[in-house]
């Protein structure tokens, strides 16, 4: 019996065998364009952290570029059809880590308000982790964390469904903290000791920049004395104040959204727990005690 070049399927139709050339080529997800942009964001963020204690202008420039690239990787993912779960996680982790590092510095710069920054860090991490976990466990692995049904939360649906709204909120949130970071180097109102008279420790009058003697400086450029000297390199406070006050309402609303996101994720997980317990026959009905 001669071998047929075409095999028949169950309906008798000829089916051409699949060859290697017709198979989908192997794709290296790690080298997708949006993921390469994500790696550049990580590098810029790390370099900005290196300059953060002593070079506020350089740090601000690098950190801002890293934040702005957050919009570019999403655009590239849509344009080149390279949206991936790895890219989404990389983007979220980068955002959370960079913001956390900046807030850690602000907690050090404003120790009296450190608990506020600690709460903001905890809220940001808890909210996004719970939202991501709830989406994966309840919505399935193919369900994006940005696909929030309106019936579950109208606010989160509006927040995630419009890329421009999402970018604006994230941008203004970062602008607020970046402006506050710049003010920690320049504002006598927020950091009065930066402009105190070194010969008169009780004086906190602005306009007399701190100029520590060389003998007071430690060898490490990251020492407290070196930081004080760097902060005394006054930066004009007008623009940071304007940016911070302008971005403050959006930042507060962003934190409110984080609270809503955490609450809704908790409720979604609780729904799943109730359904799982119901299928397992829990709670078990206890037999009535026999009357004596």
Name the more confident of 241 and 210.
241
| Active site (catalytic) residues | 95
Whether 286 has a pLDDT exceeding 80, the answer reads no
pLDDT tier at 141, thresholds 50, 70, 90: low
Residue ranges and CATH numbers for the domains of the chain are 27-186+235-275 (1.20.120)
**pLDDT higher than threshold 70 for residue 109:** yes
What is the rounded distance in angstroms from the CA atom of residue 193 to the CA atom of residue 207?
A: 11
> CA-CA distance, 117 to 109, in Å (whole number)?
11
Name the residue with higher pLDDT: 141 or 50.
50
**Cβ neighbours of residue 138 closer than 8 Å, sequence gap 6 or more:** 268, 269, 271, 272
Measured distance CA(157)–CA(146) in Å, rounded: 8
Q: Assess whether pLDDT exceeds 60 at residue 202.
A: no
pLDDT at residue 231 is higher than 70: no
């Amino acid at each position: 019996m001669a071998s047929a070049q075409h095999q028949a399927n169950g309906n008798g139709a000829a089916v051409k065998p699949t060859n290697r050339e017709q198979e989908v080529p192997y794709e290296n997800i790690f080298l997708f364009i949006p993921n390469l942009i994500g790696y550049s964001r990580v590098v810029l963020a790390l370099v900005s952290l290196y300059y953060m204690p002593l070079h506020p202008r350089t740090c601000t420039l690098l950190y801002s570029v890293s934040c702005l690239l957050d919009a570019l990787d999403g655009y590239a993912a849509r344009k080149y059809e390279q949206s991936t779960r790895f890219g989404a996680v990389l983007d979220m982790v980068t955002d959370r880590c960079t913001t956390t590092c900046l807030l850690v510095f602000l907690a050090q710069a404003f120790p009296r308000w450190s608990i506020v920054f600690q709460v903001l860090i905890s809220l940001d991490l808890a909210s996004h982790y719970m939202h991501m976990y709830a989406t994966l466990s309840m919505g399935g692995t193919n369900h994006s964390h940005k696909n929030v049904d309106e019936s579950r939360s109208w606010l989160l649906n509006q927040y995630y469904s419009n890329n421009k709204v999402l970018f604006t909120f994230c941008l203004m949130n970062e602008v607020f903290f970046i402006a506050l970071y710049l003010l920690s180097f320049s504002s006598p109102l927020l950091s009065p000791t930066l402009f105190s008279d070194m010969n008169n420790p009780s004086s906190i009058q602005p306009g007399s920049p701190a100029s520590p003697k060389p003998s007071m400086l430690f060898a490490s450029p990251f020492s407290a004395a070196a930081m004080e000297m760097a902060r005394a390199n006054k930066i004009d406070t007008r623009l940071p104040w304007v940016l911070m006050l302008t971005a403050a309402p959006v930042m507060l609303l962003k934190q409110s959204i984080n609270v809503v996101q955490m609450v809704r994720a908790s409720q979604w997980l609780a729904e799943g727990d109730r359904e799982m317990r119901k299928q397992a026959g829990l709670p078990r009905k206890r037999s009535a005690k026999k009357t004596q």
